[in-house]
Structure 1
Amino acid sequence: MSFTDRSNLRQPPLGRRLRLGFVGGGRGGLVGSWHFSGARLSNHFDVVAGALSSRPENAALSAADWVIPADRSYTDYREMARAEAARPDGIDAVAICTPNDSHAAVAIAFLEAGIDVILDKPMTAMLTEAEALVAVQKRTGVSLTMTYPFSHHAMVRQARALVDEGALGRITQVHVEYLQDWNLAAQALDGAPWRQDPKRVGRSSIVGDIGTHAYHLLHSVTGLDVARLRADMFVCGGAKPQPDTAHIGLKLSNGAPATMQLSNAAVGQYCALRIRVWGDKGALDWDQEKPEELRFTPAEAEERIFRRGAAQGIRAQAEALIHLPRGHGETLTDAWANLYAEAGIMIAARRSGRDLGQALTRLPGVEDGLRGMDFVEACADSHEAGGIWTQMADRD
């Protein structure tokens, strides 16, 4: 099979699955379960090693849950990087699912060992750590994938394809929101107190956590970046150390205005990530809680609802991420699997030195991770200065 035709995203191109290790994400970890499910469903990875917890008992129990052999269950990621790099059957890649403040150190250890990295967002806790991590990745040439799974839904790719075709014309405004309700009560930390510690999450918990998803979705759909922004942050739930809500005004790179609304203290909102894009020829509307539908409204034609599945009007970029007929639901787990499948193609290509069609993927890398940190930094700068307009860093 030729991988350039993308006819089966979930077929490993090297004739074997890649060997994957995990750092963090063990027993009781929601983030780790998403990564683990996506890796397995992608059909590109076998999970064979892990430093799933720094507590030996929890590490052993978590390894047993995931059927990882006892001799490849570690309690120290540095030991894991050294040992796995030395094995003839060592891991090809590692998924990092630890709190933000450890991302840089863990990722650097594996990059230096020649092991490809799949890193949970945000890239790091602090911008300086992200810049140091990017420098190591550039020097080693080992790949680093950021996990922004929402851009791996088929209908998000359909939206971007319509934008690229010019179906919306010139983009004139964008509204993106991500609203949840898990953080309503005082100190409501969902079993993870580190999420309110600035030393561990960085300068803004709300922007670093769900705001980076919203920012990446905006860029993925429109192809535009943020030039300037102004951010106001609030505590709308019970008293807590960090704001749980942010209202952000944006000026996009084409001059168009945009808004972003973020909260994890909004009663009745579960995982309400939504983007609406207006152009001078048409508009798009996608809602993560209804991920298989994309509403397209041309300015001078009837509204159209695209539904995920093999049907007239589904663009090739979206069809590559579709695995079941309409009516058989593909949701967030499938988006994670698409992300891991595209990561598998890219990692296999690097390791084999072959062109496996990886240029056809839209896989977030170090530039996306660093730009997400620029966004967090600019939002924090704006808020701390009283909500003033603030320039995003110029990386060109």
Structure 2
Amino acid sequence: MSRILPASLDFDGPFPRQSRRLRLGVVGGGRISVTQATAARLTDRWEVVAGALSSDPVKARQRAEEWFIQPDRSYATFNEMASVEAGRPDGVDAVMITTPNHVHFDAAKAFLDKGIDVLCDKPLTNDPGEADELVSIARETGLVFAVGYTMSCFPMIRQAREIVKQGGIGRINQIHVEFLQDWMTPEAVAEADHVKWRLDPAKSGRTSCTGDIGTHAAHLASFVSGLEMTHLRAEMHVCGAPKPLEDTVFMFTRFENDVPGTLMATRLAPGNRGGLRLRVFGSEGGLEWDLEKSEQLKFNRFGEPDRIISRGHGHGVSAKTERFVRAARGFPEGIIEAWANLYTEFAMAVAARRDGVTPPQHWLNYPTVTQGAKGVHFVEASANSAETESSWQKI
């Protein structure tokens, strides 16, 4: 088998070219799968060649045609897909899983058991025990397992993480994060097909808003700060029309070194579409980032004028961050490019594994299955807290 990456690698420079595109399979054919496939293609490192795109065989075939997937590589089930693709000489190098939450564990395990690398949407599973099992399988097999915390893949978030690691804001003393959306404001929205499963405990698990967007907020706080969230106390609310699961959550949080913080998430904040905001404050300065202004990072050193670092080449952006920059300063990038950054790092990890290369730890920072499992334990602790009069819970 020929190498995918060059024989000589510069782990501090731009990501290297590949000798071929990696072959990607898709499980789940909903809206997010289209977004992710678009992003994967944008990298020019992946081609979508196979899929189990619906639990309905007729819809699966129709969607395969729309995706230009050959009929013999359109599968009725993910189990069939895993088995057949593992036996093909041109089988998929990896698979992305974009199904509703309750399918994640079985689908991921089916491909891991066949030796196929996985990128799974979040939350990783609805059950902490299943999440821990996936971590164990990935560790024992050495397979690559990424999780779709794509908010950590914006260039300015990578820049923020680097500033923190270099001591740019001193000792962290508080962390605040919020994710405010408004798409669930209309009372009839719960009847939409793409919403029903998100409010069904059998599919979404014990939470809805918390497991969907609250986990993004929690992961981002830890990713940038470098501190694990250790404890929380949560209040869950249904602020709009009656629903079986919450549409809003408020939390007090604790991180390593007893650093306090707050977390809020809701889908009923009119005027907020992508209202993900992160603030990390330290003994010497602070960082602030807003998803709706994702091109900019506010960086303050106490007593000095505020700095606004812009996504682009130079002017405060590090060489490591520039690896994720596609367009020149002033020409905006967005969520598709962030997904593409995730799929670029995933490609590097998959190619390195297949080439037998062990890269240094600093090379790739894609969200791993371990971080995915931590997200599941975060959701579990949140639900436990909300159900016990907002008691403090250890994660």
Amino acid at match of 2:124: M
1:249-275 Cα deviation digits (max 9, x unpaired): 001112121000100111121011010
Aligned runs of 1:3-14 on 2, under 5 Å?
A: 3-5=9-11, 7-9=13-15, 11-13=16-18
Give 1:23's aligned residue.
Answer: 27
Give structure 1 stretches of 5+ with no counterpart. none
Give 2:95's aligned residue.
Answer: 94
Contact 1:245 1:265 in 2 (8 A): yes
Contact 1:186 1:240 in 2 (8 A): no
| Residue 12 of structure 1: how far off its partner (Å) | 4.0
| Residue 357 of structure 1: how far off its partner (Å) | 6.0
Contact 1:12 1:43 in 2 (8 A): no
| Residue 134 of structure 1: how far off its partner (Å) | 2.0
Give 1:143's aligned residue.
Answer: 144
* TM-score, normalised via structure 1 length: 0.94
From 269, 275, 288, give the equivalent of 1:272: 275
SS across alignment from 2:10: helix
SS across alignment from 2:288: strand
In 1: Cα distance, 2:10 partner to 2:249 partner: 42
Task: Give the length in aligned residue pairs.
Answer: 387
SS across alignment from 1:296: strand
| Residue 136 of structure 1: how far off its partner (Å) | 2.2
With 117-126 and 320-329 compared, the bigger mean Cα shift is at 320-329
Contact 1:150 1:335 in 2 (8 A): yes
1:232-286 Cα deviation digits (max 9, x unpaired): 0100111111110000000111212100010011112101101011111101110
1:241 equivalent in alignment to 2:244? yes
1:83-121 Cα deviation digits (max 9, x unpaired): 100101000100000011110100000001011011000
In 1: Cα distance, 2:262 partner to 2:268 partner: 19
Contact 1:39 1:45 in 2 (8 A): yes
Aligned runs of 1:222-301 on 2, under 5 Å?
A: 222-301=225-304
Amino acid at match of 1:302: P
In 2: Cα distance, 1:139 partner to 1:311 partner: 41
Computed over aligned residues only, the root mean square deviation of the Cα atoms, in angstroms, reads 1.5
1:208 equivalent in alignment to 2:211? yes
Contact 2:95 2:116 in 1 (8 A): yes
1:284-309 Cα deviation digits (max 9, x unpaired): 11001111000111102111000000
Give 2:375's aligned residue.
Answer: 372
Aligned runs of 1:305-384 on 2, under 5 Å?
A: 305-355=308-358, 359-384=362-387
Give 1:191's aligned residue.
Answer: 193
| Residue 165 of structure 1: how far off its partner (Å) | 1.1
Change (3 A) 1:109 1:69: same
* TM-score, normalised via structure 2 length: 0.95
Aligned runs of 1:118-137 on 2, under 5 Å?
A: 118-137=119-138
In 2: Cα distance, 1:88 partner to 1:274 partner: 46
Give 2:55's aligned residue.
Answer: 54
Contact 1:187 1:240 in 2 (8 A): no
Amino acid at match of 1:36: A
Give 2:3's aligned residue.
Answer: none
With 46-55 and 30-39 compared, the bigger mean Cα shift is at 30-39
Amino acid at match of 1:120: D
SS across alignment from 2:351: helix
Percent identical pairs in the alignment equals: 44
SS across alignment from 1:360: coil
| Residue 141 of structure 1: how far off its partner (Å) | 2.2
Amino acid at match of 1:297: N
In 2: Cα distance, 1:241 partner to 1:354 partner: 48
Amino acid at match of 2:193: G
In 2: Cα distance, 1:237 partner to 1:110 partner: 39
| Residue 5 of structure 1: how far off its partner (Å) | 4.2
In 2: Cα distance, 1:187 partner to 1:357 partner: 50
Amino acid at match of 2:10: T
